[in-house]
Amino acid sequence: MTYFNTDEVDSALVNLSRNDRNCELIELPERSVEGVTCHALRLGSRPTGTRDCVLLIGGVHAREWGSCEILICFAADLLLAYRTGSGLAYGGRRFTADQVRGLLDNLEIIVFPLVNPDGRRYSQNTEAMWRKNRNPAYGNGKGDCVGVDLNRNYDFLFDAATAFSPTSGVRVSTDPCDPQLYQGPQPFSEPETRNVRWLLDAYPRTRWFVDVHSYSEDMLYVWGDDEDQSTDPSMNFGNHAFDGLRGDAGDARYREYIPASDLAQATGLARDFAAAVHGVRGTDYTAKSAFDLYPTCGSSDDYAFARHLTDPARGKVLAYTIEWGTEFQPQWDEMENIIKDISAGLLQFCVSARSMVGTRTAATTAA
C-alpha cells in the first residue's frame, strides 16, 4: 500500500459504508471549488442524534497527505473490531472489546478525512508542497495567486490587523498571492470550510472536534490566538477593548480566557491522547496550547470552541489540532507506524471522551 489518491480516499469511504450497518455515508452539501463531491462517515450503533458526537476531520492542508489514511484506517479498524467483537492493538497499546463496543454504542463518531480534495490532487500530481485549496477567484489565478489557506478561513478573529498586536507575528495573510497563508476575502468564503461548519451545525450534539494535520508531534488544545488564562473572563476574543493587544507571547496585556474546568478537560484529553501514542512505540507527543506552537486566527479549533460563546444556544465543543509526524510526506513504511500511533491516540481520546459523558449523565441523574 501507499498513499491514496483523491478518488481512492472517496471509494474507501463508500466501501466502508456499504459493508457495515454501523457506518453511514454522509454527502456534504457543497462540492469543492473544482466540483468534487465530498463524503464523511457516521459511525455508531444507535440512531443518529441520540448520542454525543466526536467530529474528526483531515486533509485540510493539501501536502499533509497521511491525515486521510489515518482517519480511514481509524474508522475501518473500529468498525471491524466492533463487528467481530474484538479489541484493538497498536504496537504496545491495547484496547479491550468492551472499550471498542462502548464507543459505537455510546458515542456518534463522524469522520471527514478529505476536506480539500482539489488541493490533495494538485499536491500529488503537480506541486508536492501545495497547502491551500485551488480557488482561482481572488488573485490573477496563476501560480501562488491561487487558493485559500482553509485553516485561516474560519470565523475567529478574522480581522487580524485589528484584533492582534503589530508585534504578534500572527500567522495569516490578506495577500491572495501568499503561497501559504491567504485567509480568503471573508470567513467561510470557501465551500470546503462551509462543509465543516455544516457538520457542526447538522450534528448539534458534537462535543469534541479534532482537526488532523502535520507536522510537529503535538496535540494542540485551544486557544490559538494567545496564551490561556482562567482568571479574567472580560479578557476574551469578543471584547474590542483588547483590540491591538492579542498574540504577543509572555506579556500580561492580553491572554485568552477559558474557564478552569474547560481547561482541565481540554488538557486532560490532550494528555490522554499523548499517553496512548507513547504506548504504541514510545513516540513522545506534546500536549500544549495551539498558541504555544505559534499564534493563529481563523483556525478550525478556535472557531469550533468559540461557537458556544458567540451563540449560547450551541453546545460546547472541546476542539483540538493534531500535528502528526516530523515531515509532511513520510516514506510509506514510516507513515504506517504513524497511522498506528495516531489511531491509538484517537481511540484513547474517544474512550476518555466517552467516560466524560458517563460522568455528566451520572451527575445529572443525581441532581
| Contact criterion met (CB below 8 Å) for 175 and 21 | no
Q: Which residue reads 444556544 in cell numbers? A: 313
Question: Closer CB to Zn ion, residue 61 or residue 207?
Answer: 61
Min dist. Cβ of residue 213 to Zn ion (A) = 3
E strands, the chain, in order? 23-27, 39-43, 53-58, 88-90, 93-95, 108-112, 206-214, 218-221, 228-229, 256-257, 286-289, 318-324
Please identify which residue in 39, 42, 51, 61 interacts with Zn ion, judged by CB under 5 A: 61
Residue 349 CA to residue 340 CA, distance in Å, equals: 14
Q: How far is the CB of 185 from Zn ion (least distance, A)?
A: 21
* Closer of 134 and 213 to Zn ion (Cβ): 213
Would you give the distance in Å from CA 6 to the centre of its chain? 19
Nearer to Zn ion, 120 or 213 (CB): 213
Using the minimum distance from each CB to Zn ion, give the nearer residue, 257 or 328: 328
Given the complex with Zn ion, which of 22 and 216 has the nearer CB atom? Answer: 216
Out of 39, 213, 255, 307, which residue is the one contacting Zn ion (CB under 5 A)?
Answer: 213
Contact call for residue 171 and Zn ion (CB under 5 A): no
Q: How far apart are CA 189 and CA 132, in angstroms?
A: 13
Q: Least distance (Å) from Zn ion to the CB of residue 315?
A: 26
Identify the residue whose cell numbers are 470565523: 155
In the complex, the smallest distance separating the C-beta of residue 1 from Zn ion, rounded to whole angstroms, is 23
Going residue by residue from 173 to 212, which x/- string records binding to Zn ion, judged by CB under 5 A? Answer: ----------------------------------------
Residue 108: alpha-carbon gap to chain centroid? 16
**Site residues (CB under 5 A) for Zn ion, limited to 1-60:** none
300 C-beta neighbours (distance < 10 Å), count:
28
Site for Zn ion, rule CB under 5 A: 61, 213
